[in-house]
Amino acid sequence: MQTSQSWYNILPDLDFTLPPDRPPETDSGSGSLDPQVPLSLIRQEMSRERWIPIPEEIQRRYRQWRPTPLVRATGFEKALGTQARIYYKYEGANLSGSHKLNTAIAQAYYYKAAGAKRLAVATGAGQWGTAVAAACQMFGLECHVYMVRTSLENKPYRKTMMELLGATVVASPSDETEVGRRFAAEGQHGGTLSIALAEAMESTHDPGTRFCAGSGETYALLHNTVMGLEAGEQMSEMDDRPDIVIAGLGAGSNFGGLAFPFLRDSLPSGGGVRCVSVEPAACPKLTRGRYAYDYTDSSEKNPMQKMYTLGSRFAPPLMHAGGLRYHATAKIISALYDRGLIEAVAYQQREIFASATLFGSCEGIVPAPESAHSVHGAVVEAARADRDGTRPAILLSLSGHGLFDMAAYQAYLAGEMDSDIEVPDELIERSLAQLPRQPDLAVT
Amino acid sequence: MQTSQSWYNILPDLDFTLPPDRPPETDSGSGSLDPQVPLSLIRQEMSRERWIPIPEEIQRRYRQWRPTPLVRATGFEKALGTQARIYYKYEGANLSGSHKLNTAIAQAYYYKAAGAKRLAVATGAGQWGTAVAAACQMFGLECHVYMVRTSLENKPYRKTMMELLGATVVASPSDETEVGRRFAAEGQHGGTLSIALAEAMESTHDPGTRFCAGSGETYALLHNTVMGLEAGEQMSEMDDRPDIVIAGLGAGSNFGGLAFPFLRDSLPSGGGVRCVSVEPAACPKLTRGRYAYDYTDSSEKNPMQKMYTLGSRFAPPLMHAGGLRYHATAKIISALYDRGLIEAVAYQQREIFASATLFGSCEGIVPAPESAHSVHGAVVEAARADRDGTRPAILLSLSGHGLFDMAAYQAYLAGEMDSDIEVPDELIERSLAQLPRQPDLAVT
């Protein structure tokens, strides 16, 4: 099979429009997308076309590693003793080690076309930074990465990897930016993704530098639909189709990229394939957050988006799936969840690692901790199906490899992983109490 | 294409026979292969059949990741500005991260069939240990790994990986064996592969435990010929064939596995495709060693083989390509080199990392330090071809990924890698002076 020649835009298949972004409280601006974002990306964000052609140059890059494998996990099924058919779409076999290269290449392409010389980027576990570094090198752009300090200290080799790709990497909070210095002074030395994001945005004061948003923007989800489109074709070739699609949920590009092409058949009213997002119990934005206007980063200077959020100042407990430690999730995923078109579950780290360890030994791929969420989600669904006597086809997103996460597996094997990471209600309530004043809902 | 259904046995295409193994000086035994080795493997070692059918169960395992990719390195060619066509065969995208799974699976299969319950194994950089651990898990065998202490300390995650696969791992020299305690007492705390091998062999005193030899045995080379056979077919599909085949040289399974199927056309007298082995300047067995009877490990209790060797007590300087720190190389490769049928070169670590870093950024795969040897070999050959105005097709073995070797790349990028690792002549002479008494050559 070939990799897809178009991205799938879910917006025209919805019977509602997304609540518009809002200007920050401190600002008198328009609240539209930051003018730094290339017009081409803004047009994609707003497009009502169902199919967005992928530029030939991007297709050529995709073909370096796409189509990615779609594999029936027969060894894993056997170990679980399940009657369910479990498939995984594996995105880890590219330079960046995860699905994030799908949109990083597209974003670098459009930023380059718009005249950027240098991209500033924030990264948690390092996959997004690695992906942008790789994409920048392809297109001759400089790359500067703000990496959440705790993640950098846990995974120093991620930094080496980005440096191999020609990027410069600093720990966030850094002393390069005002916002970094402010949070460091407040004692937030370990960092969060929203602080790193604020730092990257602030750094765009340098001429020629643009901020490369990450994976929560609608266009990032769009670019990742190559995963779901390919997976659909591959499952057809195997004479099957998924009853349940499962993916870990951070900012949303992994879940959206795999699920949207399958969700399409159930739109606008739902009822088709079940799309289940899995979030960490330590950062439960869909299952315990609020659907409200909030900032996407800690600077509170950028437009607000209506999202499921735990509050932009929420500092999730430390855990190994750094890529899922984001306080909110994409506005499009939030809106779908709000309307009951997708599902959400949250699991504890240790049960997730138990499933991932079993999967790794059966299937020969060590899942990234982020990807391990969907593996555990599949284990739960398979057990439920066996209880109910159904035999569903379950498709899970194995979004990246865990070869840089051996410290986490080491801790798990040594029995040194905390059994449960509890986030007390009052912590979430306190954070949500700091949400910005909500605009008059009648206006949205 | 399909992966191969037979292994290629080079022996019937040679116009000479290999010098027979010899009993150890301390022994009055027969000098034949250790009776612990299953008869099926001994038969393969001795076979005069050109094609050895691969058992269906092994083929089924191979199909989990084979055929492996054969890729034209166009980005790398462009960066080098060469007119040569450079192809790489990539063996790193399996659980073990290297080509070594090709023979580990076969060996585990035959040992299991012969009644083994537990395999003991020695590993340098960890790839062989990981491969055997993976293979043991597939076939329900226990696995106990002796890992060279310096490698284990440099790459603790390799241990985690093996433990994830259910193996137990100890640093060698260990206090589990007599030979380990003896070398530790002599101050050899960092370990060498030949000490680890001696420990693994000693541990077979436990009932049910067998020693799984590694990658220098003739049958290990045989099993790895799936690489070269596939590569030949894949290049045919791309309407090309190699003029030069290049692979890093440790004990020999990588080089032999890729090169032998191509060497076949030049046998028995040579003159066809050039097969170039690349060894580290720090462990130059072919380029500076002696073709003589020597022990394959430090115990000096096992049969001697006629090999190019630096002496079984030679302790190579520390370097990052731990998998190539073996004092000798396979007897079959030694014999081919002795007759001028293959070539050998040795390069310094830093120039090798320079080529590997460039390759990684162009092709999106970080080579293992061992695999980086062939990458640099290709760079040298391409430059020579450009000077000479020839346009050869160069096929290199990218035998494994370097994602567990980021410390080495970190050192390279930071300019902290020694410029040259010199092995003084007198060190080699002193080691060779300790070679066992050579049997009367007229008898061989």
**What CATH number has the domain bearing residue B386?**
3.40.50.1100
The pTM assigned to this predicted structure is 0.85
Per-residue pLDDT at A443: 46
A298 with A338, same domain? Answer: yes
Nearest residue on chain A to B353, alpha-carbon basis: A164
Q: What is the DSSP string of A218-277?
A: HHHHHHHHHHHHHHHHHHHHTT---SEEEEE-SSSHHHHHHHHHHHGGGTTT--SSEEEE
Residue A361 has pLDDT above 50, yes or no: yes
Where among A183, A198, A214 does a domain terminate?
Answer: A214
Residue B14 confidence (pLDDT): 96
Q: Which residue of B has its CA nearest to A366?
A: B95
Q: Can you tell me the distance from the alpha carbon of B404 to that of B418, in angstroms, rounded to the nearest whole number?
A: 20
Residues A90, A230: one domain?
yes
Asked if pLDDT for residue B32 goes beyond 50, the answer is no
The percentage of residues in chain B with a pLDDT greater than 90, rounded to a whole number, is 70
Across all residues in chain A, what is the average pLDDT?
Answer: 91
Which residue is closest to A354 within chain B, CA to CA?
A: B164
> For residue B30, is pLDDT > 50?
no
- Would you place residue A216 in the very low, low, confident or very high pLDDT band (cuts 50, 70, 90)? confident
**Joined tokens for residue A387:** 């209880």
Is B9 inside any structural domain?
no
- Looking at the fold, whether B390 and B244 belong to one and the same domain comes out as yes
| Min Cα–Cα distance to chain B from A36, Å | 28
Is the model's pLDDT at B321 over the cut of 60? yes
Q: Does residue A323 carry a pLDDT above 90?
A: no
Has residue B176 got a pLDDT over 80? yes
The answer to whether the Cβ–Cβ distance between A64 and B366 falls below 8 Å is no
Say if residue A180 is in the same domain as residue A249. Answer: no
Whether A75 and A131 share a structural domain: no
User: So what's the pLDDT on residue B298?
Assistant: 77
Cross-chain residue pair A403–B403, CB shorter than 8 Å: yes
Q: Percent of chain A beyond pLDDT 70?
A: 96
Of B160, B404, B406, the CB nearest to A161: B406
Q: Quote the minimal CA–CA distance from B199 to chain A in Å.
A: 25
Interval B136-157 mean pLDDT: 90
Report the pLDDT value the prediction gives residue A30, as an integer from 0 to 100. Answer: 42
Does residue A33 belong to any structural domain of this protein? no
Residue A274 vs residue B157, higher pLDDT: A274
Return the pLDDT at A27.
55
Would you say residue A273 lies in a domain?
A: yes
**Nearest CA distance, B84 vs chain A (angstrom):** 20
> Measuring CA to CA, how many Å separate B107 from each of A258, B5, B101, B116, B138?
39, 17, 10, 11, 12
The predicted structure's pLDDT at residue A213: 84
Q: Are residues A290 and A223 in the same domain?
A: yes
Q: Which residue numbers of B have CB closer than 8 Å to A's CBs?
A: 64-65, 93-95, 97, 134, 137, 156-157, 160-161, 163-166, 357, 360-361, 364-366, 403-404, 406-407, 409-410, 413
What pLDDT was estimated at residue A33? 44
* H or E stretch covering B211: strand B209-211
Lowest mean pLDDT among A281-285, B257-261, B406-410: B406-410
CB–CB contact A165 B361 (8 Å): yes
CA quadruple B139, B140, B145, B151: dihedral positive or negative?
Answer: positive
Strand partners, B142: B118
Which residues in chain B touch residue A163, judged by CB atoms under 8 angstroms apart? Answer: 410, 413
**Spatial separation of the C-alpha atoms in residues A298 and A325, rounded to whole Å:** 14
The pLDDT of residue A377 is 98
- Residues counted in chain A: 444
Task: Kindly state the tokens that stand for A359.
Answer: 């999967």
Note whether residue B17 is domain-resident: no
Q: Which two tokens stand for residue A29?
A: 């601006």
> Does A314 map to a domain?
yes
- By three-state DSSP, how is residue A285 classified? helix
> Do residue B366 and residue A156 have CB atoms under 8 angstroms apart?
no
pLDDT band, residue B143 (cuts 50/70/90) = very high
Note whether B270 and B396 are same-domain residues. yes
Is the CB of B403 less than 8 angstroms away from the CB of A407? no
Q: Which of A97-106, A148-157, A371-380, B376-385 has the lowest mean pLDDT?
A: A148-157
Q: What mean pLDDT comes out for the span A420-440?
A: 89
Q: Which residue of B has its CA nearest to A367?
A: B95
Average pLDDT across chain B, whole number: 91
Contact at CB, B164 and A65, closer than 8 angstroms: no
Structural domain ending residue among the three candidates A198, A214, A230: A214
Q: Which pLDDT score, from 0 to 100, does residue A241 have?
A: 96
**What does the pLDDT look like over A149-186, one tens digit per residue?**
988 988 788 899 999 888 999 999 999 999 999 999 98
A contacts of B69 (beta carbons < 8 Å): none
Tell me the residue range of the domain where A68 lies. Answer: 64-94+219-435
Over residues A98-145, the pLDDT tens digits come to 999 999 999 999 999 999 999 999 998 888 999 999 999 889 999 999
Flag whether pLDDT at B441 surpasses 80. Answer: no
Categorize the per-residue pLDDT at B289 as very low, low, confident or very high, splitting at 50, 70 and 90: very high
Mean local confidence (pLDDT), B360-389: 95
Q: How many domains does chain B have?
A: 2
Measured between beta carbons, which residues in chain A are less than 8 angstroms from residue B375? none
Lowest mean pLDDT among A11-25, A151-165, A327-341, B245-259: A151-165
With residues binned 3-state (H G I as helix, E B as strand, rest as coil), the percentages for chain B, rounded to 5, are: 40, 15, 40
Structure ipTM over 0.85, yes or no = no
Q: What is the pLDDT of residue A193?
A: 84
CB of A435 closer than 8 Å to CB of A294: yes
Contact A410/B160, CB-based, under 8 Å? yes
Given a cut of 50, is residue A32 above it in pLDDT?
no
Token couple for A19: 């609540």
Q: Are residues B70 and B133 in the same domain?
A: no
Is the pLDDT at B196 greater than 70? The verdict is yes
pLDDT at B35: 54
Same domain, A113 and A176: yes
Q: How confident is the model at residue A364 (pLDDT cuts 50, 70, 90)?
A: confident
Which of B160, B164, B407 faces A361 most closely, judged by CB atoms? Answer: B164
Does a structural domain hold residue A205?
yes
What mean pLDDT is predicted for residues A19-26?
A: 86
Q: B264 and B193: one domain?
A: no
Residue A28 clears pLDDT 50, i.e. is over it: no
Mean pLDDT of the region B40-56:
94
On whether both A172 and A236 belong to a single domain, the answer is: no
**Are the C-beta atoms of residues A301 and A36 closer than 8 Å to each other?**
no
Domain boundary, last residue among A165, A187, A214: A214
Cβ separation A409–B137 shorter than 8 A = no
- Domain assignment present for residue A6? The answer is no
| pLDDT score for A34 | 54
Domain presence at residue A369:
yes
Most B CBs within 10 A among A160, A375, A398, hence the mutation to make, goes to: A160
Q: DSSP letter string over A80-131?
A: HT-SSEEEEEE--SSTTSBTTHHHHHHHHHHHHHTT-SEEEEEESSSHHHHH
Greater confidence (B321 vs B50) lies with B50
In terms of pLDDT, which residue wins out, A278 or B28?
Answer: A278
Whether A361 and B165 lie within 8 Å, measured CB to CB: yes
Sorted by sequence, the CB contacts under 8 Å of residue A44 that are 6+ apart come out as A9, A52, A218, A219, A222
Same domain, B161 and B274: no
**Using CB atoms, which residue from B134, B357, B361 is nearest to A364?**
B134
Residue B326 has pLDDT above 80, yes or no: yes
A431 three-state secondary structure? helix
